[in-house]
Structure 1
Amino acid sequence: MSANVDEQRARYEAAGQGHVFRFWEQLSQGQRDTLLSQLKDIDPEEVGRSYRAMQRGQGESEAPEDVKPVPEDAFGSMLRSPASLLSQWEKQGLEQIAEGRMAVLLLAGGQGTRLGMSCPKGMVSVGLPSGKSLFQLQAERIRALQRLAGTAKPVPWYIVTSAHTHVPTEAFFREHAWFGLDPDSVRFFQQGQLPALTVSGKIILQDKGLIAMAPNGNGGVYRALSSSGALADMQARGVRHVHTYCVDNVLVRVGDPAFLGFCIHKNADCGAEVVEKVDPTEPVGVVCRVGDHYRVLEYSEISSELASRRDTHGRLEFSAASICNHYFSVDFLQEVVRQYEPQMLYHVAHKKVGYVDDEGRPVAPDKPNGIKMEKFIFDVFPFSKNFAVFEVLREDAFSPLKNADKPGQVDCPSTARKAVYILHAHWVEKAGGHVSSGSGGVVCEISPLVSYAGEALQERVKGKTFPSPFVLD
């Protein structure tokens, strides 16, 4: 033990982080074991390098000069592309799915704290009549996709968790028998963590014998794909294409075959699914071309003049709003983990981080006192050699769940429910049926096991009127 302690102490002192041993003599043996276990998993030199690189990046201009909208030759759209092309792209996507060449990658590291819950966000139900959780809805969409593709081959589902969500997520899937999926096709792995730092770059002690740790952002998925063996597993299965999305989108078209087919048609190595931004002040990031590469620029990084600029058709020029829904070729992911991931700079997030003072007393700060370093999943866009952007209808494919319900709130359970009801009632109308309004308005839920995106409903609903609530399962 003594040699191990001396080795770790030397590592941290050399990196200017020797203070993590400040209370060593006061710790019990159990506390010492916990602290040593944490310290062995952290590279203090890398933490220092990342902090200094992040500081340099913070000093650079956040308003790039050569910003242009996505060019037409990289752009496809469910709104404006010809129906014949959309059908062709969807067919091509389904063919790849049937051949077992597509996998789905779910970013599920978030907790439902902003929703007033302590469980993983994927376990949350938005209050649909069926009571289904986000995880169940997405699992059933994968099953529907396999049915549409006419294949018995399972679509591999890789689920990225965090230290807080990993154990309960795995238990939830076991408890629900993997929602009817082949357990061998569902794989869980954790994103990494980094120490929280003071603004001067010092590692924060949460307790006398405990480092304050935080997830390294959804951009940490690339390193986790490699270290967990998930990327190697994809290659062993013959996967060539990966659809990546965030767990909190109640309308997400998991493995969207039209998006997949479009990216394959464009020979893209990386792609983004977007919705149209219609209000210049909407606080969303937009996909842009900056110089000779693509980026997601946050709304604060684009001037109000650029954000308000419209084309000859009256649409915002910078309208490609990012919804954390991406395509990657497996070959590109290999390049990322081998070459590009170390070049991705960390972003800084100012947070309130509990700590112990010089006397070892716990302090709960009332304002941000520390920073957490994060990488974002779209930080790899500039490394793409052939980027593609696919626009979908917001009402068809995007309704995020981020906030608890309260009057006037958006992106909450009530707005997510309403988005499902409106979309599914539209499917019924399109198939020749009708859902009448009840005391709570139109309530319509169609199971993904019945229809993935509104198909195969005519036989069940044509010429019929259904009272609310109408549930088709």
Structure 2
Amino acid sequence: MTVPPAELTDRLRAHGQEHALLGWGSLDTSARAALVRQLEALDLAELATLRERALAPPEAPPEQFEPVPITPAGFTAEEKARGADALGRGEIAALLVAGGQGSRLGALQPKGMFPAGAISGTSLFQIHAEKVLATSRRYGRAAPLLIMTSPATDAPTRAFFAENGNFGLAPGQVTFFQQGTMPAVCPHTGKLLFEAPGKLFLSPNGHGGTLTALADSGSLRALTEQGVKHVSYFQVDNPLVKVFDPGFIGRHIAAESEASSKVVAKTAPDEKVGVLVSANGRGSIIEYTLLPKHLTEEREPTGELRFRAGSPAIHLFSVAFLERVTRTAAGSLPYRAALKAVAHFDPRAGQSVPAPSAKEPNAVKFERFIFDALPHAERWLAVETLRSEEFAPIKNASGADSPETSRAAQIALHTEWLRRAGIDTSGHAVEVSPLFGLDAEHLAEKLRGDKPVKIVEPTVFK
């Protein structure tokens, strides 16, 4: 390919993006072909519209929204039995969203490889995979684990699982699929940004890209063929998540819910967490930046925050709902824009441009969010879960939501499980592997009839 396709050249010129072909003569044949594929896949008119929206004032929250009706955290024996029955029939799959890198944690590798175990240093990937394995053993049916990666995390994630024998899961039990990408543009000119000569600056299209990727990869169709009826969705950075919660599953099924979401009580009005609300009768999540300040501070007579249903990104979707959404709504899930400061390559100057300060963003990135699918659900639930039992994400290197706070939460939870089983930890740190105990009840079953356990040092039960 000695010259760019004429049709592509004309289209780029019509949208003011002709700079994308600068340096063409210095690219080899394979680089030229790759650049053409990238450019031909773009909807340049859509990009221009998205940039305009990004620079417009923030959108207002829905006109009519109320605090979401929350069902309590405790589950009945009947709900647990219903969920256990579904797990025993192989009707539940796990969907792990793992497209992010641990850049904020100081490691440019998949975040799932981060050592999260409180004592053992077990990786996030191993913790989640062992929960799937333990559940499969407990209910006598191999539960599918789907892992959504990104272009940056796909190869190392696959390699990590292969090197570790899928952490005990059967090869056919684990499915990897990759989310899509979106180009970044200059906020001032709207021009496409480049990562390197002949290579667009592409970013993952957000966890909302799970839906289209799930369908486009054939994974959603495969779930249907396997008889899976519901998908448990969670993010990689939360080691406390109950991947398969029988009570939650049972309540979801009994209510014939299409989309059920767990919520945690916000710790403070200004906590940086999305809030699940009822908007015009539909479940919806409002970002904390968009909820008016007076509403964030509004309280019930009990003293609780009125809008307190914080979202830990734990959902349960019916496969029928996902099929409907991917057929009719996935393409219309809105892109949300974020202004970022990034290093990039300027083809006009023929040189790299360092990232400016964060106060001077030079790029607009676009993402879709999974929670924008929630309003499409006709029947939905918000189910309370205790933060101490199910939400201790690892997002930051220090401070809130850091490895230190997450490990402390894991130790506290596992200490409580052992206390319920009649074991005094004597103040020593403890960690319970999912293979030894999925929850307090499962752990007590394992320890019942054993000789008295005395803990004299930090201990891992595995």
- Give the alignment's TM-score, normalised by structure 2: 0.93
The answer on 1:332 being equivalent to 2:329 is: no
CA distance in 1, matches of 2:26, 2:130: 53
For 2:181 and 2:322, the matched residues in 1 are separated by 21
Contact 2:23 2:197 in 1 (8 A): yes
The residue that corresponds to 1:33 in the other structure is 33
Q: Letter of the aligned partner of 1:376 in structure 2?
A: F
CA distance in 2, matches of 1:6, 1:282: 52
SS in 1 for 2:400: coil
Residues 462 and 411 from structure 1, CA distance in 2 versus in 1: closer, same or farther, beyond 3 angstroms? farther
Q: 3-state SS of the aligned residue for 1:218?
A: coil
**Residue 393 in structure 1 maps to residue 374 in structure 2:** no
Could you list the per-position Cα deviations for residues 212-234 of structure 1 after superposition, in whole angstroms to 9, with x for gaps in the alignment? 11111111111101111111111
Q: Corresponding residue for 2:438? A: 452
Q: 1:111 aligns with which of 84, 101, 110?
A: 101
* 2:249 alignment partner in structure 1: 260
Name the amino acid aligned to 2:337. Answer: V
* Among 150, 166, 184, the residue aligned to 2:154: 166
Shift of 1:60: 6.2
> C-alpha distance in 1, partners of 2:371/2:166?
29
Instruction: Give how far 1:174 is off.
Output: 0.5
Q: How does 1:399-418 map to 2 (within 5 A)?
A: 399-405=392-398, 409-418=399-408
8 Å Cα contact 1:23-1:209 kept in structure 2: yes
Pick which of 221-230 and 1-10 moved more: 1-10
Residues 461, 131 of structure 1: alpha-carbon distance in 2 compared, 3 angstrom cutoff: farther
Which residue pairs with 1:431 in the alignment? Answer: 421
Of 69, 93, 98, which aligns to 2:83? 93
Does structure 2 conserve the Cα–Cα contact (< 8 Å) formed by 1:104 and 1:254? yes
For 1:359 and 1:4, locate their aligned partners in 2 and report how far apart those are by CA, in whole Å.
Answer: 20
Verify the 8 A CA contact 2:118 2:408 in the aligned structure 1.
no
Q: Distance in 1 between matches of 2:134 and 2:377?
A: 31
**Pairwise CA distance, 1:311:** 1.9
Question: Is 1:379 matched up with 2:372?
Answer: yes
Q: Does the CA contact (< 8 Å) of 2:93 and 2:146 recur in 1?
A: yes
Residue 224 and residue 158 in structure 1: after superposition, are their counterparts in 2 closer, same or farther (change >3 A)?
A: same
Match of 2:221 among 208, 224, 232: 232
Distance 2:57 2:327 in 1: 28
1:264-275 residue pairs with structure 2 within 5 A?
Answer: 264-275=253-264
Q: How far did 1:23 drift?
A: 2.3
Q: CA deviation at 1:295?
A: 1.3
Aligned pairs, number:
454
Identity %: 37
1:289 to 271, 278, 299: 278
Preserved CA contact (<8 Å) 1:50 1:345:
no
Corresponding residue number in structure 1 for 2:303: 314
* Distance of aligned partners of 1:87 and 1:436 in 2 relative to their CA distance in 1, 3 Å threshold: same
SS of the equivalent of 1:194 reads strand
What secondary structure, in the 3-state scheme, does the structure 2 residue paired with 1:435 have? coil
Match status 1:67 vs 2:65: yes
Structure 1: give runs of 5+ residues left out of the alignment: none
Residues in 1 aligned to 2:90 and 2:307: alpha-carbon distance in whole angstroms? 36
Q: How does 1:128-143 map to 2 (within 5 A)?
A: 128-143=118-133
| Structure 2, unpaired ranges of 5+ | none
Alignment correspondent of 1:19: 19
Q: Which runs of 4+ in 1 moved over 6 A?
A: none
SS of the residue corresponding to residue 287 of structure 1 reads: strand
Q: Is the 8 A contact 1:245 1:325 kept in 2?
A: yes
User: Which residue of 1 is the match for residue 72 of structure 2?
Assistant: 77
- 1:433-461 C-alpha deviation (Å, 9 max, x unpaired): 11012xxxx31011111110112424267
What is the aligned-residue RMSD (CA, Å)? 2.0
Give the aligned residue type for 2:381. Answer: A
Measure, in 2, the Cα distance between the counterparts of 1:321 and 1:179: 32
In structure 1, what is the Cα distance between the partners aligned to 2:65 and 2:349?
A: 51
Q: Report the Cα offset of residue 15 of structure 1.
A: 4.1
Q: 1:224 to 1:49 in 2, by over 3 A?
A: farther
Q: Is the Cα contact below 8 Å between 2:264 and 2:387 reproduced in 1?
A: yes
Q: Does residue 189 in structure 1 map to residue 184 in structure 2?
A: no
The answer to whether the aligner puts 1:5 opposite 2:5 as a matched pair is: yes
Deviation at 1:59, TM superposition (A): 4.4
Q: CA deviation at 1:50?
A: 4.4
Q: CA deviation at 1:262?
A: 1.4
Between the aligned partners of 2:458 and 2:277, the Cα distance in structure 1 is 42
Q: Does 1:215 align with 2:204?
A: yes
Kindly state the Cα deviation for residue 2 of structure 1 after the two structures are TM-superposed.
Answer: 5.0
Shift of the 309–161 alpha-carbon distance from structure 1 to 2, 3 Å rule, reads same
Moved more, 201-210 or 156-165: 201-210
Q: Which amino acid aligns with 1:223?
A: T
Sort the Cα spacing of 1:394 and 1:133 in 2 relative to 1 into closer, same or farther, 3 A: same
- Structure 2 CA distance, aligned partners of 1:338 and 1:380? 12
Code of the aligned partner of 1:142: V
